[in-house]
């Protein structure tokens, strides 16, 4: 195991949350602890505000800025931490899902006032699909939020995970006094706008100690005693193995904007978060310790600036050592490629790197040869699997408005869908093209980019489909189904058959009428089939 030390040093994770729960604020505090930034406010430009929904150019501009902060690296307590950013805007949720395939664990931020929100649910679904270890931080304890026991209950039920509180709040809102660390039995007293990065922990191994009453007042001290007794009875000690298996999620309480509770969480994170993990391929499992390099592309970012038509492909290193200016096999294209200027990302700056190790993310200059999910290896024929595609929520037919530019339109829509901007379905045995997206915004982006970058004018005709399901099963039965349901059967870009259902009722009916056909709502079935 040549690169054992490098692997053991790395931790690659993402912070996920519903917009406004505090992801950006928390990211910034973590970077401050890691010394990657010196001033607060440095990460703010990364944020796509909710109100910007009607102004997609502004969103794209901000997305452009966010390339620099897409991957943030910092060192903390001897560990090299790769923090992968995920877009907050729901119309770009697919980007987030794909980024989650490139991390080994996540930190989930929950707003103590709003509790579990829509995006939280979907993101956790993706985490559960691959048993990603999760640490939860309940944020905004300086506001009058939900009662902590109710919140724990809500998170467990709604997100279908078992929680294990490692800290417990003392009151909340204006009365918020701090948290008691259940693990090392220390008290952290809250003060707004905590600037110090030092530990201010007060040892209280025995909660009956009258010092507690002096520090937080008798009423809150008694409440804490009662709460902790209850917690001890329910939870006991936390098993790291359960966390790493994605079975139990430790919970912390804090206030990111006040820099409170963040350090405790980070300290725990570096102790328990998993090292870079291996990944499955169509042939076998690849372990990080393997000597030969391999990695996969999980995100492609185009530059909207017409003066710089380059794209950056984000590659997660899975095994071995990636080296600059070295030939690697692009397994889908079956050709050798090399990169003379691979980037690594250091907070706001991109810098050219010579090598990278498992867990690292490398930015590769791309002239259009990459597609999401592409694999690079040191010669071996394999393809990483498990980059999910979900059913889109909106479907529109692509209408060519300028027959003279048909070729440009074809090329443009192929490249944009390779980037993962949207999904392209082509009528089975025909030429109708249907674009599937998560949000309206993506249609605007596509229309704009096709015109600007490819000179192709298009329009979109709304279609009333409800879901796209990949269909598999008995060959003969599938052929019959395709014949009967011609209007609703498409192929995706990889040639897989897809059934577009008009409504839930139609989908359920087809499921009942065709027991030999499986209807999959994510493309994960490809992975399952091959294993």
Q: DSSP letter for 259, please.
A: T
Q: Which is nearer to ligand G4P, 176 or 296 (CB)?
A: 176
Q: Which is nearer to ligand G4P, 141 or 498 (CB)?
A: 141
CA–CA dist 12, 14 (Å, integer): 7
Is 423 within 8 Å of 390 (Cβ atoms)? no
As measured in angstroms, the least distance from the Cβ of 474 to ligand G4P is 46
As measured in angstroms, the least distance from the Cβ of 154 to ligand G4P is 19
Question: Nearest Cα to 228, choosing from 161, 162, 181?
Answer: 181
As measured in angstroms, the least distance from the Cβ of 95 to ligand G4P is 15
Q: Would you tell me which residues interact with ligand G4P (CB under 6 A)?
A: 17, 19-25, 47, 88, 139-140, 142-143, 255-258
CA–CA dist 358, 11 (Å, integer): 10
Q: Which is nearer to ligand G4P, 7 or 262 (CB)?
A: 262
Q: Which is nearer to ligand G4P, 90 or 143 (CB)?
A: 143
Is 322 within 8 Å of 292 (Cβ atoms)? no
Q: Which is nearer to ligand G4P, 171 or 319 (CB)?
A: 171
Tokens in use for 363? 């930015």
Q: Which is nearer to ligand G4P, 256 or 409 (CB)?
A: 256
**Order of strands across the sheet that contains 186-189:** 167-170, 178-181, 186-189, 202-203
Q: Which is nearer to ligand G4P, 20 or 366 (CB)?
A: 20
CA–CA dist 419, 412 (Å, integer): 11
Q: Which is nearer to ligand G4P, 37 or 434 (CB)?
A: 37
Question: Nearest Cα to 203, choosing from 224, 184, 228, 219?
Answer: 184
Strand segments (E) across 85-205: 105-111, 134-139, 162-165, 167-170, 178-181, 186-189, 202-203
Q: Which is nearer to ligand G4P, 15 or 361 (CB)?
A: 15
As measured in angstroms, the least distance from the Cβ of 274 to ligand G4P is 24
As measured in angstroms, the least distance from the Cβ of 356 to ligand G4P is 27
CA–CA dist 352, 365 (Å, integer): 11
Question: Nearest Cα to 389, choosing from 23, 133, 159, 129?
Answer: 129
As measured in angstroms, the least distance from the Cβ of 449 to ligand G4P is 25
As measured in angstroms, the least distance from the Cβ of 38 to ligand G4P is 18
As measured in angstroms, the least distance from the Cβ of 155 to ligand G4P is 17
As measured in angstroms, the least distance from the Cβ of 98 to ligand G4P is 19
Q: Which is nearer to ligand G4P, 143 or 485 (CB)?
A: 143
SS (H, E, C) 429-491: CCCCEEEEECCHHHHHHHHHHHHHHHCCCEEEEEECCCEEEEEEECHHHHHHHHHHCHHHEEE
Please, where are the H alpha helices in 253-394?
Answer: 262-272
Question: Nearest Cα to 253, choosing from 369, 110, 359, 394?
Answer: 110
As measured in angstroms, the least distance from the Cβ of 290 to ligand G4P is 37
CA–CA dist 495, 371 (Å, integer): 15
């Amino acid at each position: 195991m040549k690169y054992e030390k490098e692997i053991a040093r790395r931790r690659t994770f993402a912070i996920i949350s519903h917009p406004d729960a505090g992801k950006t604020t928390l990211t910034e505090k973590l970077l401050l602890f890691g010394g990657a930034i010196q001033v607060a406010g440095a990460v703010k430009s990364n944020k796509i505000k909710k109100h910007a929904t009607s102004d997609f150019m502004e969103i794209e501009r901000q997305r452009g800025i966010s390339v620099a902060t897409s991957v943030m690296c910092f060192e903390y307590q001897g560990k090299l931490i790769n923090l992968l950013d995920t877009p907050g805007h729901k119309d770009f949720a697919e980007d987030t899902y794909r980024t989650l395939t490139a991390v080994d664990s996540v930190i989930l931020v929950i707003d103590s006032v709003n509790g579990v929100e829509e995006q939280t649910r979907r993101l956790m679904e993706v985490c559960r699909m691959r048993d990603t270890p999760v640490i939860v931080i309940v944020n905004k304890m300086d506001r009058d939020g939900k009662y902590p026991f109710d919140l724990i209950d809500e998170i467990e039920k709604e997100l279908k995970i078992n929680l294990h509180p490692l800290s417990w709040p003392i009151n909340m809102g204006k009365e918020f006094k701090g948290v008691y660390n259940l693990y090392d039995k220390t008290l952290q007293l809250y003060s707004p706008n905590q600037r110090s990065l030092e530990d201010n922990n007060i040892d209280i191994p025995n909660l009956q100690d009258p010092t507690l009453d002096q520090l937080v007042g008798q009423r809150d001290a008694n409440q804490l005693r009662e709460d902790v007794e209850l917690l001890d009875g329910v939870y006991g000690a936390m098993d790291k193995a359960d966390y790493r298996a994605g079975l139990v999620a430790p919970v912390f309480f804090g206030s990111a904007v006040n820099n409170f509770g963040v350090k405790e969480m980070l300290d725990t994170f570096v102790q328990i978060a998993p090292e870079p993990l291996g990944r499955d391929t169509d042939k076998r499992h690849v372990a990080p310790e393997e000597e030969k390099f391999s990695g996969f592309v999980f995100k492609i970012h185009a530059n909207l600036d017409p003066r710089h038509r380059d794209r950056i492909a984000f590659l997660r290193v899975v095994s071995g050592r990636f080296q600059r200016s070295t030939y690697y096999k692009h397994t889908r294209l079956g050709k050798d490629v090399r990169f003379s200027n691979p980037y690594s990302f250091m907070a706001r700056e991109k810098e050219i790197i010579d090598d990278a190790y498992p867990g690292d993310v490398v930015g590769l200059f791309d002239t259009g040869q990459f597609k999401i999910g592409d694999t690079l290896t040191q010669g071996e024929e394999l393809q990483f699997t498990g980059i999910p595609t979900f059913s889109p929520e909106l479907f529109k037919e692509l209408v060519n408005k300028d027959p003279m530019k048909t070729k440009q339109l074809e090329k443009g829509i192929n490249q944009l869908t390779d980037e993962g901007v949207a999904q392209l379905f082509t009528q089975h045995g025909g030429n109708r093209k249907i674009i599937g997206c998560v949000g309206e915004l993506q249609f605007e982006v596509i229309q704009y980019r096709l015109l600007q970058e490819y000179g192709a004018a298009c329009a979109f005709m709304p279609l009333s489909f409800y879901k796209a399901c990949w269909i598999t099963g008995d060959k003969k039965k599938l052929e019959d189904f395709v014949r009967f349901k011609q209007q609703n059967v498409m192929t995706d870009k990889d040639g897989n058959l897809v059934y577009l259902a008009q409504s839930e009722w139609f989908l359920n009916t087809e499921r009942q009428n065709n027991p030999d056909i499986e209807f999959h709502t994510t493309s994960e079935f490809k992975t399952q089939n091959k294993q």
